């Protein structure tokens, strides 16, 4: 949504799919994919700016809504694992 010439507000849903997951501790790497859920849901909020030549800049924050820990595989004792992501992008509209 453009709030002024070149400036935009951005918001919307996001879905993520788990492709791989590893953990490294004391030099040992372990596959932890079985302890995590396969999908993740979140909401993005951001700001953007577009120059007249098509060059654009944006910054977004993703708030994770779903707990990523698969408690059927791992006892979490009330812990929740949610994503929290900052995205910065540069692009060009042509």
76, pLDDT greater than 70:
no
Instruction: Determine the length of the chain.
Output: 94
Domain definitions of the chain by residue range:
2-92
Residue 74's pLDDT is what?
62
Cβ neighbors of 1 (< 8 A, separation 6 or more) are 8, 9, 10
Please state, in angstroms and rounded to a whole number, the distance separating the CA atoms of residues 82 and 16.
Answer: 12
Give per-residue pLDDT as tens, 22-64.
999 999 999 989 888 999 999 999 999 999 999 999 999 999 9
Report percent pLDDT > 90 for the chain. 72
Please state, in angstroms and rounded to a whole number, the distance separating the CA atoms of residues 19 and 50.
Answer: 33
| Confidence bin at 14 (pLDDT 50/70/90) | very high
By the 10 Å C-beta count (0-12 exposed, 13-18 middle, 19+ buried), 8 is classed as middle
Residue 75's pLDDT is what?
67
pTM for the model: 0.75
């Amino acid at each position: 949504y453009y709030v002024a010439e070149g400036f935009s507000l951005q918001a919307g849903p996001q879905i993520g799919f788990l492709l791989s997951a590893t953990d490294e501790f004391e030099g040992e790497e372990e596959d932890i994919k079985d302890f995590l859920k396969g999908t993740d849901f979140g909401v993005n909020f951001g700001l953007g700016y577009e120059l007249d030549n098509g060059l654009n800049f944006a910054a977004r924050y993703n708030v994770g809504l779903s707990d990523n820990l698969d408690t059927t595989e791992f006892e979490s004792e009330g812990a929740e694992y949610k994503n929290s992501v900052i995205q910065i992008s540069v692009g060009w509209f042509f």
